[in-house]
Structure 1
Amino acid sequence: MNRTTLSLIAGVAALAAVTGFAALESPDAAGAGTAKAAARLPVERTTLVCPAPSSSDIADTSYTSFTPVTAGTGSGGKAELRSATEESDSATGNSAGKGKGEDGGKKAGRPALQPKAPGTPVTGDTSGGDTPALIGTAEGKFAPGWTMQQTTEVAAGAGRGLLGVDCTAPDTEFWFPGASTAPGRSDYVHLTNPDDSAAVVDIELYGKDGAVKSTAGEGITVAPHSSEPVLLSTLGDTPQEDLTVHVSVRSGRVGAAVQALDDKDGGDWLSAAADPATGLVLPGIPKDAASVRLIAFTAADADTDLKVKLASPTGLITPAGHETVHVKGGTTTAVDLGDLTRGEAGSLVLTQASSPVPVVAALRVTRGKGSKRETAFIPASAPVGARATAADNSAKGSTLSLTAPTATAQVKVTASAGTEGGTQASRTYTIKAGTTQDIVPPRPSGLKGGYALTVECLSGGPVYGARTLTASVEDTPGFTIQTLPDDRGTVSVPHADEDIAVLQEK
């Protein structure tokens, strides 16, 4: 037996130790047509990051953690949430004792969340402007579909109103159409690094004339287990009303979200839009929206015309005067769609007729009038897929919006047990092709506290969803919207068998 064969045996033995003899078939071992389909198995570990919620001393923030029940998980596992600064201290060997703004080892402002079992949400609260960014890890039975919602009420000042964001999984690229550096706006992109090594990040801005020329956004270092808020106005010299922010990571990974604060029109978090695509769905425009503004961008060299449709409760319609939107390559285009929904539920569907190019898009939605105006954002979303979850819901003030742009679909909506008591409840809905349905979601029997909503697709075409929270904040109609992409609670694992024939010397 030669050295090459010995090396091969050693390598395969190591692989088998890691995978449990998961993938050791030779090409000749299985006949054509005998391969087994890949299995869908629950993920075993999930990491989420939550940005620092507010710098306002009068901010009140709640966090809701929820893991839906998933078949095939074991009995063990845990979910924990730590401040980014606490993680950093631990990683560098610094103590986390008193004398550094902490109490008994817990960082000031960090909510205490102790999930007990999948299927029941848990909440924690903080107040003031010193709450840090948070890094969360869920393992075992708590990992599949783990969802964290961060909701903040700010009674006055820039960005006053209701601000909500889903804590995000770290990644290496993000697109944020809908940001701004216009007078009266203070937009920050929050970068949070959950890992043990530094991340290096580039931030690019694109306006109506193309890329904003600046080197200030290049090579930003985000230290391990830390968060960096970057004020967008420092990355360019000329204020611009509509911008697309591109966050790309050279090394490592980060979680990213844009906090958009307006002096007059409130504010909210702008979550990353779905990946660039030739067709997009922006679900869940509130039926009482006072104004809707579409912001779109393509990085391609070619221009494109977006065909605009509104999926209403009765079907797809073309907004009068806004049949198409022309997007010039490499630039951000914004269009005011006005009172688009006219008192009915709606979702925007964007398609391209010929020579399609990948596009990203988001909506800026305003409710209220005069000094009582409030703003929220709807980024283009990925479909619900197998399952999606909205973690933070109350007995009043939650609206679930579902749209099936291409084909009729059937979905199951489950309301979890309440944080303080109650029994889950489920209901099945049929969403007709080309329509959007606003649903008053089922509520848990005997509900006490808040609850989570889980949407599962049972049959039919793709479904897109969003959940709107409303709450009066100092007589202002506060609201925030979170889209419902697939929770990625399961992964595809190819089937394979052990076959030692691959070790035979030829």
Structure 2
Amino acid sequence: MNRSTISLAGAVAALAVLTGAAVVTGGGDDHDTAPVASAARLPVQRSNLLCPAPSGSEFAKTTYTSFTPQGASGGAGGSGSAQLVPATPKGKALKPLTAAGKPATSTTDKPDAPALIGTADGPLAPGWTVQQTTVVDTGDGRGMLGTSCAAPDSEFWFAGASTGADRQDYLHLVNPDDTPAVVDVELYGKDGLLKASTGDGITVAGKTAVPVLLSTLVADKVQDLTVHVVARSGRVGAAVQAVDKKLGSDWLPPAAEPATSLVLPGIPADASDVRLVVYAAGSDDADLTLQLATPTGLITPAGHETMHVKSGMTSSADLKDLTKGEAGSLLIGSSKVHAAVPVVAGVIVTRGKGSKQEMAFVPAVPEVGARSTVADNRTKGSTLSLVAVGKDASVKITSSAGSTGGSPVLKTISVKAGTTVAVPPPLPESGKGTFAVTVETVSGGPVYASRTLAVPLDGVPMFTIQPMSDDHGMVAVPVARPDLGILNH
């Protein structure tokens, strides 16, 4: 999923107007003797983020935290803005972000709080992130729901949704553009594609949001589902809100695109149950290997060394208390017995016991890459989980100033290949309130990461897990050179 950026085609066209032509590849003229310069990496000039409507509960309180890393603009000057506005004709815009390096927060306790459409430009666009955290302290949907507001796209995968008797899962669709978007929703269970009565051609009008209760699309009561969302026209933001009668509620983040090897980082040490949901996206069955990256190395879960998933179908495996007191990350690979097949995967994590249980989700995620940021960290309850695959890695962690002031703090840690390091982020100096954490890959890797936010309430281990991946705050822009000679042709 790509963060919206300024059109590169437009940039090249502008250069062409100024110089007569922008030559980005060799032609058949004397100019061919000049070396072709490599693409320059420049900060994005515009970012879009979409936040789903938080909760319809009268007992919900939602905090929005907006943040752009300091220095993410690469030293570019000028002023910028970062604003979230309601995806409805009514409602007020949230408190804007006015400067990089310090979070801006807003709260609401309204049960009809709308979805939000966000835009950041100028020096506030690169790396801009928004965290939406909701606590429902009683009643239906009791739990902590967290999500990093997502960039609009045309395709999403969700592994771990459900239309079971104990679940109410809503797919939230948000359209940031003026023109309507048309969206198809496919649900895959253990026997393949479920026939949806109204899942094809869902229209989302411009600048609006549409919630879709998954159980209204199909008659089947299915515990484990994979949801595939495709915008046949336009683009949308998509998120699944899962509400369980026994296990609380949370947002199910989009999973990484289908791949033959996947990493699911940050399964908590005290997980009482871990349920893996996998969908085989290829034309052949998938034969998979499972490994757990622990703090000391890779192990194979007893009884779950391999997993077979039929083509076009969703399979699940109850891994129970997989981590057994040590934080870990699940690595999914392809068996060498057959050709590798791309899959989509996610796990449902449960903490607590009896009536004091709470759930969250860990999807397969893309790597951290150059830089990734997660907002709304607290002085207590935040844990970063980092796993290196292939090579040892060095990672720089930066905790921003707090929302009420203070100074940022930097820390560099090493992550051995095949291990998971779970650490609380360093606290801002002399600062209070929430803060943001930025993770940068210094060397080695690749590195995969997630953030767990745990805020116990009345004996319930409320928590939420946000995956962290490359913020795509820098883009490659072809280096052009003037070629006035083209005007003679």
- TM-score bracket, normalised by the shorter chain, equals over 0.9
Determine if contact 2:19/2:484 at 8 Å carries over to the other structure.
no
Q: Hey, what does 1:38 align to over in structure 2?
A: 39
CA distance in 2, matches of 1:263, 1:158: 7
The structural deviation recorded for 1:17 is: 3.0
1:17 aligns with 2:1: no
Q: Label 1:128 to 1:473 Cα distance change in 2 as closer, same or farther (>3 A).
A: farther
SS at the partner of 2:481?
Answer: coil
Q: Label 1:475 to 1:19 Cα distance change in 2 as closer, same or farther (>3 A).
A: farther
TM-score between the two structures when normalised by the length of structure 1 = 0.91
Determine if contact 1:260/1:267 at 8 Å carries over to the other structure.
yes
Instruction: Map 1:230-249; keep pairs closer than 5 Å.
Output: 230-249=212-231
Q: Hey, what does 2:232 align to over in structure 1?
A: 250
CA distance in 2, matches of 1:455, 1:389: 6
1:304 aligns with 2:286: yes
Q: Hey, what does 1:472 align to over in structure 2?
A: 456
CA distance in 2, matches of 1:18, 1:199: 36
Q: Hey, what does 2:85 align to over in structure 1?
A: 82
Identity rate of aligned residues, in percent? 57
Determine if contact 2:52/2:172 at 8 Å carries over to the other structure.
yes
For the pair shown, the structure with the greater C-alpha radius of gyration is 1
Q: Label 1:492 to 1:189 Cα distance change in 2 as closer, same or farther (>3 A).
A: same
1:260 aligns with 2:242: yes
SS at the partner of 1:403?
Answer: strand
The structural deviation recorded for 1:325 is: 0.8
SS at the partner of 1:277?
Answer: coil
CA distance in 2, matches of 1:208, 1:339: 23
Q: Hey, what does 2:199 align to over in structure 1?
A: 217
CA distance in 1, matches of 2:429, 2:402: 9
Q: Label 1:13 to 1:400 Cα distance change in 2 as closer, same or farther (>3 A).
A: closer
CA distance in 1, matches of 2:139, 2:146: 17
Structure 1 vs Structure 2 CA RMSD: 1.7
SS at the partner of 1:17?
Answer: helix
1:339 aligns with 2:339: no
The structural deviation recorded for 1:38 is: 1.2
Q: Hey, what does 1:198 align to over in structure 2?
A: 180
Q: Hey, what does 1:177 align to over in structure 2?
A: 159
For 1:496, give the aligned amino acid.
A
CA distance in 2, matches of 1:382, 1:19: 39
For 1:27, give the aligned amino acid.
G
The structural deviation recorded for 1:492 is: 0.6
Instruction: Map 1:266-415; keep pairs closer than 5 Å.
Output: 266-354=248-336, 355-415=339-399
The structural deviation recorded for 1:75 is: 2.3
Determine if contact 1:111/1:125 at 8 Å carries over to the other structure.
no
Q: Label 1:499 to 1:236 Cα distance change in 2 as closer, same or farther (>3 A).
A: same
Q: Hey, what does 1:497 align to over in structure 2?
A: 481
1:179-231 CA-partner distances (Å, limit 9, x unpaired): 00000100000000000100000000000000001241000000000000000
Q: Hey, what does 1:168 align to over in structure 2?
A: 150
For 1:74, give the aligned amino acid.
G
CA distance in 1, matches of 2:142, 2:391: 40
1:121 aligns with 2:111: no
Between 473-482 and 362-371, report the one with greater CA deviation: 473-482
CA distance in 1, matches of 2:280, 2:18: 42
CA distance in 1, matches of 2:36, 2:335: 39
Q: Hey, what does 1:9 align to over in structure 2?
A: none
Q: Hey, what does 2:49 align to over in structure 1?
A: 48
1:76-103 CA-partner distances (Å, limit 9, x unpaired): 11111100003xxxxxxxxx6xxxxxxx
1:162-186 CA-partner distances (Å, limit 9, x unpaired): 1000000000000001000000100
CA distance in 1, matches of 2:194, 2:33: 54
SS at the partner of 2:215?
Answer: helix
Determine if contact 1:25/1:498 at 8 Å carries over to the other structure.
no
Determine if contact 1:66/1:118 at 8 Å carries over to the other structure.
yes
1:275-312 CA-partner distances (Å, limit 9, x unpaired): 11110000000011001010000122210111000000
CA distance in 2, matches of 1:166, 1:461: 24
The structural deviation recorded for 1:30 is: 5.0
Between 491-500 and 372-381, report the one with greater CA deviation: 491-500
1:487 aligns with 2:471: yes
Q: Label 1:284 to 1:450 Cα distance change in 2 as closer, same or farther (>3 A).
A: same
The structural deviation recorded for 1:15 is: 6.4
Determine if contact 1:66/1:120 at 8 Å carries over to the other structure.
yes
The structural deviation recorded for 1:353 is: 2.7
CA distance in 2, matches of 1:501, 1:112: 52
Q: Label 1:367 to 1:33 Cα distance change in 2 as closer, same or farther (>3 A).
A: farther
Q: Label 1:274 to 1:32 Cα distance change in 2 as closer, same or farther (>3 A).
A: farther
CA distance in 2, matches of 1:21, 1:129: 55
Unaligned runs of 5+ in 2: 1-11
SS at the partner of 2:203?
Answer: strand
CA distance in 2, matches of 1:148, 1:19: 39
Q: Label 1:25 to 1:121 Cα distance change in 2 as closer, same or farther (>3 A).
A: same
CA distance in 1, matches of 2:19, 2:244: 52
For 2:206, give the aligned amino acid.
P
1:306-362 CA-partner distances (Å, limit 9, x unpaired): 100000001111011100111110000010001101100100000103301111100
The structural deviation recorded for 1:39 is: 1.1
CA distance in 1, matches of 2:361, 2:13: 52
SS at the partner of 2:455?
Answer: strand
CA distance in 2, matches of 1:18, 1:159: 57
The structural deviation recorded for 1:494 is: 1.4
Q: Label 1:149 to 1:18 Cα distance change in 2 as closer, same or farther (>3 A).
A: farther
